[in-house]
Amino acid sequence: MIPRIKSIHPLDNFILLVEFDGGQKVAYDVKDDIRTLADFRVLETEYGLFRNARLDSSRTCVYWTERVDLPSDTILEYGQPA
């Protein structure tokens, strides 16, 4: 079952705080994605874009643009407990 996201909070230094329906809270560091994935670099270069993180209607994906998104299972797997 794909984990559903309850809430997202973009924090300083490209950290995304995510709470899931099951009560888990994780801090996902987006800096690694910015360094390694060309499409993610826009989060660093376009002022304010990172703070505009949105949740899709299925609540299984955080996205910024059509090309920049993070699935909930990746966030849960690689995020640090918060």
User: Tell me: the pLDDT tens digits for 20-64?
Assistant: 999 999 999 999 999 999 999 999 999 999 999 999 999 999 999
**Domain extents in the chain:** 5-81
- d(CA 58, CA 81) in angstroms, rounded, equals 23
Coil, strand or helix: which one is 3?
Answer: coil
- How many Cβ atoms are within 10 Å of 53's Cβ, its own excluded? 19
CATH superfamily of 5-81: NE0471-like N-terminal domain (3.30.2020.10)
Could you tell me which residues come within 8 angstroms of residue 39 by beta carbon, excluding any fewer than 6 positions away?
Answer: 67, 68
pLDDT value for 64: 98
9/11 Cα distance (integer angstroms) = 6
Does the predicted model carry a pTM greater than 0.85?
Answer: yes
pLDDT beyond 90 at 1 = no
